[in-house]
Structure 1
Amino acid sequence: MVKKSMDYIVAGLLLLMLWPVILGTALIVRIHFGAPILFRQVRPGLHGKPFEILKFRTMTNATDDEGQLLPDYIRLTGVGRFLRKLSLDELPQLFNVLKGELSLVGPRPLLMEYLPLYTEEQAKRHLVKPGITGWAQVHGRNAMTWEERLERDAWYAQHQCFRLDLKILWMTIGVVAKSKGISNDNHATMPVFQGKTTNLEG
């Protein structure tokens, strides 16, 4: 209940304090990318339950000659990189927090198609509600390997407490200020997760 109350109170206060920044970011996205200004995608929440995550768009819809979207790192523009550098693209997720779909702190919600690919240990990341920032985000963000990231997510799910959440929130300020670990090599964020990186059978 303490964590849930903190989520609602802090998210509400941040929305009140940052509404000029949110409106300004929305205007930048509308001018640079056009409509829609929001990127919406179904992600797994607590226990893998689907929900629609909200982010400001940071990529174009450029396609190849066959109509297929170009790789993310090509569609990511300078404006998009700027928004990601300051984590401004994540601000709409405060509404996900108010709806009870996200927490301020928790493993980042990944893709639905990854759910059957996790090891039993990696799947423990879904024992807690996903978050805007998390233990993996303050220890390398997207610059680490999948194995390292999922290991930290699972560790957090088994050690989550109010004190740890406060520590992560404090560390997040430094990570955002230094713009660390925004992307992996030749990727806008992370390469596609191919499957179990440990305890692989066959």
Structure 2
Amino acid sequence: MHKKGFYERFIKRPMDFILSFMALIVLSPVLIVVAILVRIKLGSPVLFKQARPGQNEKIFHLYKFRTMTNQKDAQGSLFPDDIRLTKFGKFLRSTSLDELPSLLNILKGDLSIVGPRPLLVQYLPLYNDEQRRRHEVRPGLTGLAQVNGRNATSWERRFDYDVNYVDNITLLTDMRVMLLTIKKVIIREGITSSDSVTMRNFEGNKKI
């Protein structure tokens, strides 16, 4: 069971709140411009809202800018991701601009700046006991998995990084992850997996 150290108990949450609040103020012009462009190029709603499991698997709604259109075929079904994800949507993802509304989740306490990324609710029954430990802490806007391959690495490797973080939460680790995240966003490294527009779905652990 996860035990909180001094940093996690008394510093991490206040630091998250202060930094995310400052980021929202500084980046407010960017947020406004991106919101307008999303409305013009991709339609409404501007924000994409999706249920995700947070700390202790408590469900919350994660906010992002939408990156796909609502294009549908003659039967009314949505087209595949690679058709609905436009050049503008790819730009938002590669620059992580689509993630900016998630700063609101940090203010609310749903997210931390650094932690295991909140994944889809449908994955909850698929984790093994060790992988499920990623939910012992507040999820993050970025994390060890994101600065060590982001979407371009395997699910198993990502979960290893998540659990490693849960067991080693320190100010030094968080600062390192933040700095590496900024670097990777600037050089747009590891955004998508090699064979898919978006990360392939987690389908559970292979049985030997």
Question: What is the TM-score normalised by the length of structure 2?
Answer: 0.92
CA-to-aligned-CA distance 1:60-99 (integer Å, 9 cap, x gap): 1122333222222221100001111111000000000000
Work out the CA distance in 2 between the residues paired with 1:149 and 1:127. 16
Identity of matched residues, %:
49
Aligned to 2:106: 97
CA-to-aligned-CA distance 1:162-195 (integer Å, 9 cap, x gap): 2111110011111101101111134232101110
SS of 1:152's partner is helix
Q: Is 2:116–2:142's contact at 8 Å kept on the other side of the alignment?
A: yes
Alignment RMSD = 1.2
Q: Is 2:43–2:69's contact at 8 Å kept on the other side of the alignment?
A: no
| Residue identity in the other structure for 1:145 | S
Work out the CA distance in 2 between the residues paired with 1:188 and 1:94. 24
Q: Which runs of 5+ in 1 are unaligned?
A: none
CA-to-aligned-CA distance 1:2-58 (integer Å, 9 cap, x gap): 000110000000011000000000011010011100000000000110000000000
TM-aligned CA deviation for residue 155 of structure 1: 1.1
| Residue identity in the other structure for 1:74 | I
Between the two proteins, the alignment pairs up a number of residues equal to 199
Cα 1:74/1:187, change in 2 over 3 Å: farther
SS of 2:18's partner is helix
Aligned to 1:59: 68
| Residue identity in the other structure for 1:191 | R
- State which of 2, 25, 28 in structure 1 corresponds to 2:37: 28
Work out the CA distance in 1 between the residues paired with 2:72 and 2:195. 18
Aligned to 1:106: 115
| Residue identity in the other structure for 1:166 | M
SS of 2:179's partner is helix
Cα 1:54/1:164, change in 2 over 3 Å: same
Q: Which moved more, 1:139-148 or 1:149-158?
A: 149-158
- State which of 120, 126, 132 in structure 1 corresponds to 2:129: 120
| Residue identity in the other structure for 2:28 | W
The yes-or-no answer on 1:172 pairing with 2:185 is no
Work out the CA distance in 2 between the residues paired with 1:17 and 1:173. 16
